[in-house]
Structure 1
Amino acid sequence: MIRAIVYGKRGRRCGKGFSREELKVVGLSVKEALSLKIPVDIRRKTRHDENIEALKRRLNQASENLKA
């Protein structure tokens, strides 16, 4: 399962889901992300590069699975 990384007062941890900004950068809507079983946290407004890279890897993996 894919997990978002968030930063809080105690440092880095796993979050509830990816922000809308992170989804927008990779070209996904909230509905599309949920249909791909990608967790979304609509309360988050931050954008982290490592989360964007994780989403890109997940999308590539999903597209390879569709081709096979």
Structure 2
Amino acid sequence: MASCHTSHQLLALRAYTDPETALVARIAWHGLSRAMHHHAYELAPTVTELRGWHRDVTTVLPRLVR
């Protein structure tokens, strides 16, 4: 899986962890990816969104590291 594209890894994550953890990981990844590839014609993410994604990542990481 390490050589696969991140979107494919996120789809396969359900096979390695519970569905809730996989969903939170996908939501956080897509939100942060969208924030990092921000376009001038889009609204920037809010502080609340950024903090939420940070919270999600800090919640999911311990569940995935074994």
The TM-score by the shorter chain falls in which range?
0.3 to 0.5
TM-score by length of structure 2 reads: 0.38
Q: Identify the structure with the greater helix proportion.
A: 2
Mark the structure with the bigger radius of gyration. 2
Q: Identify the structure with the greater strand proportion.
A: 1
